[in-house]
């Protein structure tokens, strides 16, 4: 079943091209033959490396009694650059080369099914080979695209307990810790007989102190946000959360979201589960390593006593390393537990500040709505005043046109257009003497009435502003009263206090 599914998944994948290297580390009973190499691996030499042919063949002549103690053979792509290299159903080797690598190195077939896995992932199991059992490991972490490129790394390992050789495939982008992990691995070349060495090294870099520092920075950022939301004295007006002396709600809300994203980076719960899976793999590895060590010692006779001593010393180093890595995994679990509590507190404080900011925004919106209502009322009053003025003018035009009226009255006797008569009567002054005072009186009365009406409108506008402020204070008073009331704060099901 695994073979068929592996072939079908490989056929569905498409290939991208990445620069490929190889890493070979071997430890012998005679340290003279120990080797640690890393070089580029061309396509024409790829299959020679898999089958250990040509330049990759084992040493033909060695001193008598020299025996291979442990080894590691890796195909490495440590600076993957293609933007699709960690997208689902994508492999960074030709299909035939990828399939040959998995089969010859006895890597886990299920590795091809993890191309769409995100976040930290670790899986280990023993294969079905009873004569030469292998511990198979899949350890990877990939993420969605950022700035058009995928990020992450993946690793497939297979460890033979009979030969004590670990084979595998390792790939990572430039943002991963693959390069540093390989440097660490070469520095620990004497301990490569343990198959969990490289996964624990990768985990160590993934849980480096930089992760703790990121959480400390997020907490410091949160403290500044709290000071800004609470308008404490610790906040300086020149900080980015203030503009012209006023709190900038949009920038504050944006930074709350960004801070929340920083806190959620590398969740401890995921790495806790990963550490537990690694502990299970350590248990499987310890049992098989002990059994394989006993079998190898039985095969050694008295003539190879020196080889037996080297085997025992090597196994002693591996046991010490095993205890060290087990203790390190316990250390990471305790560290992750404390980090989880720290993050939980940060998230709760972020929640409080977000709710407080929403309250501030609601108050500002309520205040804005009140101001809009006041402006609408003032506009209505202005419209009413304009209509009243027009009504007054119309009324004056239709009812109070004294000049026209008096002119029509006095025109009958004041003017005489006969040839023998004087064209203008000597009593014309009466027209002006009556018209001008009456017109001036009417205009004065209208001006006095209009000013009185404008004063009344001004008092109405002032009362409106006071009503808005009073309305806002009443609303806030009732909100605080409901919030601070013991009847609403304490559990209503509890028994009333005794008198």
Distance from C-alpha of 270 to C-alpha of 333, rounded to nearest angstrom: 11
Q: Which helix (H) or strand (E) holds 317?
A: helix 305-399
Residue 356, token pair as written in the block: 């407080």
Residue 411 inside a domain? The answer is no
Distance from C-alpha of 136 to C-alpha of 132, rounded to nearest angstrom: 12
Residue 199 inside a domain? The answer is yes
At residue 193, what are phi and psi to the nearest 5 degrees? -65, -15
At residue 416, what are phi and psi to the nearest 5 degrees? -135, 115
Per-residue pLDDT reduced to its tens digit, 480-494: 555 444 444 333 344
User: Please, what is the end-to-end C-alpha distance for the chain in angstroms?
Assistant: 78
Q: How far is CA 387 from CA 182, 383, 384, 458, in A?
A: 86, 6, 5, 17
Same domain, 282 and 335: yes
Same domain, 118 and 172: yes
Same domain, 192 and 224: no
Residues 185, 190, 193, 197: what is their CA dihedral angle, to the nearest 10 degrees? -30
End position of a domain, from candidates 333, 355, 377: 355
End position of a domain, from candidates 355, 389, 417: 355
Q: Do 306 and 69 form a contact (C-beta atoms < 8 A)?
A: no
pLDDT reported for residue 74 = 94
Same domain, 155 and 193: yes
Q: Is 484 exposed, middle or buried (0-12, 13-18, 19+ CB in 10 A)?
A: exposed
Would the pLDDT of 97 be above 70?
yes
Q: Do 350 and 344 form a contact (C-beta atoms < 8 A)?
A: no
Q: Do 73 and 167 form a contact (C-beta atoms < 8 A)?
A: yes
Would the pLDDT of 462 be above 80?
no
Would the pLDDT of 334 be above 80?
yes
Better-scored residue on pLDDT, 21 or 464: 21
Average pLDDT over residues 312-325: 87
pLDDT reported for residue 421 = 54
Distance from C-alpha of 186 to C-alpha of 178, rounded to nearest angstrom: 12
DSSP 63-122: -TT--EEEEEEEEEEEEE--TTTTSTTEESS-HHHHHHHHHHTT--GGGGGGTT--EEEE
Instruction: List the 134-146 sheet strands across, edge first.
Output: 35-40, 21-28, 68-80, 165-173, 149-160, 134-146, 119-126
Would the pLDDT of 57 be above 80?
yes
Residue 16, token pair as written in the block: 């991208």
Same domain, 185 and 216: no
**Which residues sit opposite 267 in a β-bridge?**
none
Distance from C-alpha of 212 to C-alpha of 340, rounded to nearest angstrom: 11
Highest mean pLDDT among 188-197, 285-294, 417-426, 444-453: 188-197
* 113 conformational bin, left if phi > 0, alpha if psi -120 to 50, beta if neither: alpha
**Which residues sit opposite 121 in a β-bridge?**
140
At which residue do the structure tokens 């003279």 appear?
32
User: Domain range for residue 240?
Assistant: 211-262
pLDDT reported for residue 464 = 66
Q: Residue 268 contacts by C-beta under 8 Å, 6 or more apart in sequence?
A: 336, 337, 339, 340, 343
At 41 the three-state DSSP class reads coil
Same domain, 22 and 142: yes
Same domain, 81 and 122: yes
Helix axis angle, 209-230 relative to 249-263, nearest 10°? 150
pLDDT reported for residue 415 = 54
Distance from C-alpha of 192 to C-alpha of 339, rounded to nearest angstrom: 31
Residue 340 inside a domain? The answer is yes
Average pLDDT over residues 253-275: 86
Better-scored residue on pLDDT, 308 or 160: 160
Residue 483 inside a domain? The answer is no
Residue 313 inside a domain? The answer is yes
Q: Residue 40: which pLDDT band, with cuts at 50, 70 and 90?
A: very high
pLDDT reported for residue 157 = 94
Per-residue pLDDT reduced to its tens digit, 347-373: 888 888 888 878 777 877 777 787 787
Q: Residue 333 contacts by C-beta under 8 Å, 6 or more apart in sequence?
A: 272, 275, 276
Residue 416 inside a domain? The answer is no
Would the pLDDT of 479 be above 60?
no
Would the pLDDT of 93 be above 80?
yes
Same domain, 135 and 118: yes
Q: How far is CA 61 from the centre of its chain?
A: 57
Would the pLDDT of 156 be above 90?
yes
Q: Do 2 and 284 form a contact (C-beta atoms < 8 A)?
A: no
pLDDT reported for residue 425 = 61
pLDDT reported for residue 369 = 80
Per-residue pLDDT reduced to its tens digit, 374-406: 778 778 877 877 777 777 777 667 556 666 766
Same domain, 203 and 311: yes
At 35 the three-state DSSP class reads strand
Same domain, 288 and 240: no
Distance from C-alpha of 187 to C-alpha of 202, rounded to nearest angstrom: 14
pLDDT reported for residue 481 = 58
Looking at the whole model, is its pTM more than 0.75?
no
Better-scored residue on pLDDT, 52 or 307: 52
Q: Residue 292 contacts by C-beta under 8 Å, 6 or more apart in sequence?
A: 161, 162, 164
Q: Which helix (H) or strand (E) holds 200?
A: helix 197-206
Residue 325 inside a domain? The answer is yes
Would the pLDDT of 465 be above 80?
no
Residue 451 inside a domain? The answer is yes
Overall number of domains in the chain? 3
Per-residue pLDDT reduced to its tens digit, 116-154: 887 789 999 988 777 788 999 999 988 766 666 677 889
Share of residues in the chain with pLDDT > 70 (%) = 79
DSSP 8-class letter at 425: -
End position of a domain, from candidates 314, 336, 355: 355
Name the nearest CA neighbour of 59 among 20, 38, 104, 29: 29
Same domain, 303 and 170: yes
Would the pLDDT of 61 be above 70?
yes
User: What is the average pLDDT score of the chain?
Assistant: 80
Same domain, 184 and 308: yes
**Which residues sit opposite 312 in a β-bridge?**
none
């Amino acid at each position: 079943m695994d073979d068929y599914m592996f072939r079908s998944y490989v056929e569905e994948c498409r290939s991208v091209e990445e620069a490929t290297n190889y890493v070979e580390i071997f430890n012998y009973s005679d340290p003279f033959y120990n080797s640690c190499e890393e070089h580029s691996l061309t396509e024409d030499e790829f299959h020679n490396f898999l089958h250990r042919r040509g330049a990759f063949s084992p040493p033909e002549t060695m001193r008598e009694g020299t025996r291979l103690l442990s080894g590691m053979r890796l195909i490495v792509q440590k600076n993957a650059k293609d933007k699709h290299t960690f997208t689902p159903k994508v492999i960074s080797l030709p299909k035939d080369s990828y399939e040959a690598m998995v089969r010859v190195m006895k890597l886990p077939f299920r590795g091809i099914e993890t191309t769409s896995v995100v976040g930290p992932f670790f899986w280990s199991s023993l294969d079905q080979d009873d004569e030469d059992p292998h511990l198979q490991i899949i350890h990877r972490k990939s993420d969605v695209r950022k700035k058009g490129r995928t990020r992450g790394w993946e690793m497939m390992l297979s460890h033979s307990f009979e030969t004590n050789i670990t084979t595998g495939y390792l790939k990572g982008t430039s943002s991963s810790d693959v390069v540093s992990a390989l440097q660490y691995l070469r520095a620990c070349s004497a301990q490569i007989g343990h198959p969990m060495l490289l996964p624990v090294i990768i985990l160590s870099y993934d849980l480096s102190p930089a992760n703790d520092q990121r959480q400390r920075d997020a907490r410091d950022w949160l403290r500044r946000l709290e000071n800004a939301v609470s308008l404490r004295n610790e906040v300086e007006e020149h900080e980015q959360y203030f503009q012209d002396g006023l709190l900038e709600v949009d920038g504050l809300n944006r930074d709350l979201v960004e801070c929340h994203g920083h806190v959620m980076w590398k969740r401890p719960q995921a790495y806790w589960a990963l550490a537990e899976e690694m502990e299970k793999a350590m248990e499987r590895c310890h049992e098989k390593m002990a059994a394989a060590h006993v079998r190898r010692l039985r095969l050694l006779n008295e003539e190879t006593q020196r080889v037996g001593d080297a085997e025992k010393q090597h196994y002693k180093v591996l046991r010490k390393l095993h205890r060290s890595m087990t203790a390190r995994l316990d250390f990471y679990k305790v560290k992750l537990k404390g980090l989880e509590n720290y993050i939980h507190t940060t998230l709760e404080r972020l929640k409080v500040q977000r709710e407080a900011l929403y309250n501030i925004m609601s108050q500002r919106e309520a205040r804005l709505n009140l101001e809009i209502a006041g402006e609408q009322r003032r506009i209505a009053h202005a419209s009413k005043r304009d209509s009243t003025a027009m009504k007054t003018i119309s009324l004056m035009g239709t009812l109070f046109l004294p000049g026209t009226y008096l002119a029509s009255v006095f025109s009958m006797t004041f003017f005489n257009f006969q040839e023998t008569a004087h064209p203008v009567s000597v009593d014309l002054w009466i027209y002006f003497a009556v018209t001008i005072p009456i017109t001036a009186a009417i205009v004065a009365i209208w001006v006095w009435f209009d000013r009185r009406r404008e004063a009344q409108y001004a008092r109405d506008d002032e009362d409106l502003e006071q009503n808005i402020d009073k309305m806002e204070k009443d609303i806030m008073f009732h909100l605080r009263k409901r919030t601070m009331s013991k009847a609403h704060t304490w559990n209503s099901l509890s028994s009333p206090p005794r008198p």
